[in-house]
A and B are shown apart, each in its own frame.
Chain A
């Protein structure tokens, strides 16, 4: 049985390499939407926050989790919407 730490670190290592390969192919013209899209993805923290905010116990961890859900939701919702708004403006020359 592989210890969880090793397993998680393995995932980390592979994701970083994959990230470099993927992002290197994004053209300069899309760098701003890339950044706002990355903002949205970094809102993934919401997934971690959900389980902390839903314990039903009125303790500190619950409040911290609820705060994190709110902050990360700003990123998720705002990030995807603004990226979509920008990308909708990119048009190819007609003809």
Chain B
């Protein structure tokens, strides 16, 4: 029986791998997800066949409770709130690994097992509280700004030393549970401490990283309970999170350590004064320009999601196409609050995915664009990143909307973006500001067309 279970895990690993491979194209991705889910089912059934299991009561209760919560969350979540949901799920994964590591502790565990137990508790604990803080910042139930205080590095270093010390003591005296509780407590505290100094604009990096940790925690738990499938699946998730973290950092031209430790956006920025004047445009005038345009690029940001404007954007896009205009979307990797967030929001509004271009694809085309429409995006189209060395985002790759013949910026007011940085784009000669709620402004344009 045991050998059959082990082979079932091999099948399950193959299904996970094949499922992830199918995720390489939007055309096959849905099937890939189903294949991966089948892999999970195989693994769970195999685990239930284990002869060590004599009582199914608590397993079933756990399944029913967790499954019901998960199903309800998956059904009810708004696409705009996906980052919060992923953050919370990362946290649950981390906590589950912490509990498994803890439960795996038994009197005759060898040192190697003890070390892996410590690792699953440590990584799981940091993931859990870190994710809760990330959730709080994303949903703005707590302030989204960076929290910095004097001596923060010292406090964090002390926590790390404390964790190392307590872990070492635990490995030497596993029977003494005070060291175990100390490791658990310090891990949970450390999770809070590492996420609070990170500002809201950097949250895409943080959730990618925590995603990776939740996988690594599962991996460590796999070592603790001596289970291959946990190691394989956990490391796939770990690798995925690390790659996304790298992509996000690169898209912001910052190193991971800069994101984690600098407290970016905490407000001590020297501002170069911006020359020029703001030129507002009316909906009617904007319509005449769009009507004459043959090539339009739409660059959305999180503001589009906040205004719930994606459906009217799609409607405008259809009207423009009926008018013979080519319409593309330019998606910056860090637009939105998590990797690929904009793409999901636009997919929800029925915008076909082949119309969504990545930054490197849209930038070379920008000179042929008649009108670039910026909706609720700010920092990702900021030319200061290219031009002004004093700008805090200098060097970050941006979508060069200012190379288009005309730029429309849809904006509620002149307040600066999530990262709080002045944007010289608004003062350029070819920029026109269309003030007001994005949904209403675009609704106005649609009425002009029909």
Contacts and interface: CB of A to CB of B under 8 A. Distances in A.
Interface string A64-95: 11111111111111111111111111111110
Given A27-B24, A42-B233, A5 B112 contact: yes
Contact of B53 (A11, A54, A82): A54
A32 B338 contact: yes
Contact of B236 (A18, A68, A86): A18
A39 B234 CA distance: 10
A77 B27 contact: no
B71 interface: yes
Contact of B340 (A22, A30, A82): A30
B36 A80 contact: yes
A46 to B, nearest CB: 6
A36 B219 CA distance: 18
A46 B233 CA distance: 12
B74 interface: yes
Contact of B70 (A27, A75, A86): A75
A91 B351 CA distance: 8
Given A46-B96, A73-B66, A31 B244 contact: yes
B234 A42 contact: yes
A65 B100 contact: yes
A: contact size bracket: 35 or more
A41 B328 CA distance: 34
A26 B24 CA distance: 4
Contacts of A53: 58-59, 62
Interface stretch (B84-92, B288-296, B399-407, B422-430): B84-92
A2 interface: no
A28 interface: yes
B26 interface: yes
B70 A45 contact: no
Residue from B79, B89, B227 whose CB has the most chain A CB atoms within 10 Å? B89
B48 interface: yes
B99 A68 contact: yes
B231 to A, nearest CB: 5
A28 B184 CA distance: 36
Interface in B42-95: 43-44, 46-48, 50, 52-56, 58-59, 61-63, 65-67, 69-71, 73-75, 77, 79, 82, 85-86, 89-90, 92-93, 95
B172 to A, nearest CB: 19
Contacts of A94: 352
A52 to B, nearest CB: 4
Given A26-B24, A69-B66, A44 B30 contact: no
Nearest to B213: A42
A52 B52 CA distance: 9
B93 A91 contact: no
A72 B112 CA distance: 25
A11 B82 contact: no
Residue from B24, B33, B75 whose CB has the most chain A CB atoms within 10 Å? B33
Name the 7 nearest CB pairs between A and B, nearest first. Answer: A19-B239, A73-B66, A78-B70, A69-B62, A31-B340, A54-B53, A77-B70
Given A4-B226, A12-B223, A69-B59, 15 more contacts: A27-B25, A29-B356, A32-B341, A39-B93, A41-B237, A42-B237, A44-B43, A45-B217, A51-B225, A53-B59, A74-B89, A81-B71, A82-B73, A91-B353, A93-B354
